[in-house]
Amino acid sequence: MTTTLYLVRLGEISLKGMNRDFFERKLKDNIKYKLRPYKNFFKKQKGRLFIEIDDAAPAEVVQQALSTTFGVVGYSAALKCQKDMESIKAAALTLASRSSFLEGAKTFKVETVRSDKSFPLKSYDISGELGHEILMAQPQFTVDVHHPDRIVHVEIRDQAYLYASPVPGPGGLPVGTAGRGMLMLSGGIDSPIAAYRMAKRGLRQEAVYFHAYPYTSDEAKEKVITLAKLLSPYCSGITLHVVPFTDVQLHIKTHSHEEENTLMMRACMMRIANKLAIKRNCLAVVTGESLSQVASQTLESLAFTNSMSELPVFRPLIGMDKGEIIETSRMIGTYETSILPFEDCCTIFSPKHPLVRPDKVQQTATYQAMEIEELLDQAVEKAEIFNL
Ligand code: ATP
Ligand code: MG
């Protein structure tokens, strides 16, 4: 009998020393959560995981789960069968008839590792016999032992295991291994990519969106909810806090000079993000800022906003060009939603000539004179929560 299973390769995790178990357990939990409707069974082995999954699980569901889980460096669908040449040959032929094996390939080789030395054939002979069988069944192929397009891996251990060249996974470290952060998620292109990059380093994230209804529409809020849903598989779930921001915006408008409005708004966002972060046990704030992208992201502006934060602020896009950010956004599928034309609160209250080189001392004085802290606390209390 043959069973389908998946072999998952772990990269950086397998280099971890004493903590390796912790990283592997998180990875297992994150994958298990995605496969929860189906019976599954995990087995650990140096540098990799074997997952046996109920045949009812569609291959696309498993592939989607593995290709969005950080910590997975690569994966391949594998076959497990009894340790006799008849069963092994049948499994090799099944593997070599899959479209993922056939498409775009002309050459192959078989590579065998025989851990069970009592198996009657040597590795070289097993590879030879299986290569011959595959050539008979797929005569369009030729064998190339140096640079094959495909490799059929065969391992003879407690049973026989066969798998083809792995599909690349997203890499990185499992979400939940690096603590928790509070992401400032707008409806734009950048902040979802900031979330993706921090999730890739294992940070679990909650998100905050500042919603200035009716100056920003319900569609703008729906757009952010959609973005959070799209990020959710990469983040192993995400809790979104929608904070009502209108009262804060109006207060800023009447208590600061027009050219300072954006900076004051940024300061208030940072303060609220800090308050929420502390309330939700997060140790950092994450933003999608990129150096000099807009007036509020010059070094002077960032220095001012940064001074409003008690927590470390992670800006994973700080050194990235817009083009590079867009590339990732297309890859993970957030781009089409991000470019929908609903204005967010920043654009509506934006001054015509915002300060580009603010003075930290002067702007801090403006901020304090606004006496806005109580309004910020109220906004935090009124946040609407979505578990996505
Ligand atoms: P994005 O494309 O992510 O919207 P942006 O280029 O429009 O970024 P800004 O509007 O200056 O830049 O925002 C910088 C960062 O501040 C965003 O990446 C995001 O982290 C945060 N931010 C901006 N607006 C909001 C909002 N309404 N709610 C939550 N966070 C926000
Ligand atoms: Mg924005």
326-366 pLDDT per residue, tens: 999 999 999 999 999 877 655 667 888 889 999 999 999 99
Ligand nearest to the CA of 290: 1
| Ligand 1 atom having least distance to the Cα of 189 | 2
Q: Is residue 175 part of a domain?
A: no
Question: Do residues 190 and 159 both lie within one domain?
Answer: no
Residue 174 within any structural domain of the chain: no
Spatial CA neighbour of 38 closest among 6, 70, 75, 72: 6
Ligand 1 atom showing the smallest separation from residue 216 Cα: 27
Q: Is residue 173 situated within a structural domain? A: no
Query: Residues 35, 161: one domain?
Result: yes
Answer yes or no: is 201 within a domain.
Answer: yes
Reference 276, options 211, 176, 184; nearest CA is 184
3-state secondary structure of 380: helix
Q: Residues 206, 72: one domain?
A: no
Q: Decide if 153 contacts 2 (C-beta within 8 A).
A: no
**Chosen domain end from 130, 146, 168:** 168
Assess whether pLDDT exceeds 90 at residue 125: yes
State the DSSP H helix or E strand holding residue 235, giving kind and residue range, or none if neither: helix 218-235
- Given this model, what pLDDT does residue 12 score? 81
Is the Cβ–Cβ distance between 188 and 340 less than 8 Å? Answer: no
Per-residue pLDDT of 97-107, as tens digits, reads 998 889 999 99
pLDDT of residue 3: 67
R_g (Cα) of the chain, nearest Å: 26
Averaged over 119-134, what is the pLDDT?
A: 97
DSSP per-residue codes, 41-86 = EEEEETTEEEEEE-TTS-HHHHHHHHHTSTTEEEEEEEEEE-SSHH
CB 71 within 8 A of CB 115: no
Residue 318 and residue 375 in one domain: yes
Domain co-membership, 159 together with 228: no
What is the number of the ligand closest to the CA of 245?
Answer: 1
Looking at residue 145, which CATH number applies to its domain?
Answer: 3.30.2130.30
127 lines ligand 1 (CB under 6 A): no
Where does a domain end: 168, 188, 205? 168
The last residue of one of the domains, among 168, 192, 209, is 168
Read off the pLDDT of residues 210-260 as tens digits, 9 standing for 90 and up.
999 998 999 999 999 999 999 999 999 999 999 999 999 999 999 999 999
The closest of 368, 346, 345, 45 to 221, measured between CA atoms, is 345
User: Looking at per-residue confidence, does 55 or 356 come out higher?
Assistant: 356
Across all residues in the chain, what is the average pLDDT? 94
| 125 shares its domain with 184 | no
Asked whether residue 254 falls in the same domain as residue 198, the answer is yes
Pocket test for ligand 1, best of 182, 184, 215, 344 (most atoms within 8 A of CB): 184
Instruction: Give the pLDDT band of residue 46 (cuts 50, 70, 90).
Output: confident
Residue 184: inside a domain, yes or no? yes
| 358 domain-assigned | yes
CA distance 240 to 200: 19
136 and 271 share one domain: no
If asked whether residues 187 and 162 sit together in one domain, one would say: no
56 pLDDT band (50/70/90 cuts)? confident
In a domain, 94, yes or no: yes
Containing domain of residue 43, as a range? 3-168
Q: How many helices (H) and strands (E) does the chain have?
A: 15, 15
| Total domain count, the chain | 2
Task: For 272-287, write each residue's pLDDT tens digit.
Answer: 999 999 999 999 999 9
Q: CA-CA distance, 150 to 140, in Å (whole number)?
A: 13
Looking at the structure, do residues 155 and 255 belong to the same domain, yes or no? Answer: no
| CA dist list (Å): 72 to 66, 205, 352, 353 | 7, 19, 47, 47
Residues 114 and 241 grouped into a single domain = no
Mean pLDDT confidence for 107-121:
96
Pair (149, 239) in one structural domain: no
Mean pLDDT of 285-293: 96
pTM: 0.92
Confidence (pLDDT) at 41: 92
Share of residues in the chain with pLDDT > 70 (%): 98
pLDDT at residue 372, rounded to an integer: 98
Distance 14 CA to ligand 1 centre (A): 36
For residue 113, pLDDT over 90 is answered with: yes
Residue 296 belongs to domain with CATH number = 3.40.50.620
In a domain, 297, yes or no: yes
Token couple for 238: 């995400």
Atom of ligand 1 nearest to the CA of 317: 18
- Nearest-CA residue for ligand 1 atom 4 is 188
Tokens of 173: 């470290």
